[in-house]
Amino acid sequence: MELWIPITIVAAFLQNLRSAAQKHLKGVMGTTGATFVRFGFGLPFAALFLALLHLAAGYPLARPNGGFLAWVVVGGLTQIGATFLLIHLFSFRNFAVGTAYSRTEPAQAAVFGLIFLGELAGAGALVAIAITVLGVMAISVAHVPMSWRNLLASLVSRNALIGLASGTLFGVAAVAYRAASLSLGGPNFMMQAATTLLFTIFFQTVVMLGWIVWKERAELAHIAKAWKASLFVGLVGASASFGWFAAMTLQQAAVVKALAQIEMIFTFASTVYFFREKINATEVAGCALIVAGIIVLVLV
């Protein structure tokens, strides 16, 4: 088994934990604050990861360059923008369609990987990406009376366009992070990933903290009050991001993001076994498609 596969699976599991913790934080602070803690409280852990790899493991530090910094800025800003668009979707009553289209991220990452890095995914990988995307989109509309025909027909709706824009920005961010890590040229994939993570999360922390101080200063008190939960979000969030960056240093971003759809399986496992909630036939079919896509992805 190639190393990027278990790394991606662990990262997806950690991201699932982070998402659950962030939902809890939404009860004590606003959207901006809950988004910020992912970066602000993850920064110390990102620095710790790099320090341990350098001081304990003895790996030499990577040397950032202009291209690296440019890709970090592109990735950091597009990820923030994508996250805000996705959260904005939840303010609409019928947000399911938009959410479904936001899940086209792996497919869009394949396009941007070709445009920016000249990377062409193989035929098997493209089939796997398509299968997993269909599975996640099916899950997204499982609780609304909508057929695939109506879903495709709704492409020009406002919700769908916002969802597609979110997926586009997420796709660009994934490719930008891979480009940033690869531009370092060494010393190894772990140090490249850790360096990319530290610079990215520092940049995102500065940008979001500046926004909060300027526009939503009251959020600072809410964040300080929930520092323990925020610290957990920072830990699992930074750990998940380190996993993503490491996997995307080893493999194309689109392929990694396709396997990352396994996060939905973890989510449904929690729903069924811990919260005792029922899932319908469409959700089961969506999960089956995700699993089928992952099997194809691993076998090719």
**pLDDT for the residue 111:** 92
Residues sharing a CB contact under 8 Å with residue 66, sequence separation 6 or more, in sequence order: none
Q: Are 89 and 95 in contact (CB under 8 A)?
A: yes
pLDDT band at 72; cut points 50, 70, 90: very high
Domain ranges of the chain: 4-299
| Local structure of 205: helix, strand or coil | helix
Lowest mean pLDDT: which of 13-27, 53-67, 220-234? 13-27
Residue 83 vs residues 47, 49, 119, 290: alpha-carbon distances, Å? 23, 24, 25, 23
Structure tokens at 115: 């445009």
268, 296, 297, 263: which is closest to 284 by C-alpha? 268
Q: Are 62 and 191 in contact (CB under 8 A)?
A: yes
Report the Cα 128 to chain-centroid distance in Å: 18
Residue 19 has pLDDT above 70, yes or no: yes
Identify the DSSP state of 52. Answer: I
Q: Are 244 and 256 in contact (CB under 8 A)?
A: yes
**pLDDT for the residue 93:** 58
Lowest mean pLDDT: which of 38-47, 148-157, 174-183? 148-157
Q: Are 250 and 189 in contact (CB under 8 A)?
A: yes
pTM (2 d.p.): 0.89
Q: What is the pLDDT of residues 153-196, one digit of tens each?
A: 565 667 778 888 999 999 999 999 999 999 999 999 999 999 99
Alpha carbon distance 288, 107 (integer Å): 19
Residue 112 has pLDDT above 80, yes or no: yes
Q: Are 60 and 151 in contact (CB under 8 A)?
A: no
> What's the rounded mean pLDDT across residues 96-107?
76
Residue 105 vs residues 83, 109, 184, 263, 281: alpha-carbon distances, Å? 12, 6, 25, 14, 24
* Residue 185 or residue 298, greater confidence: 185
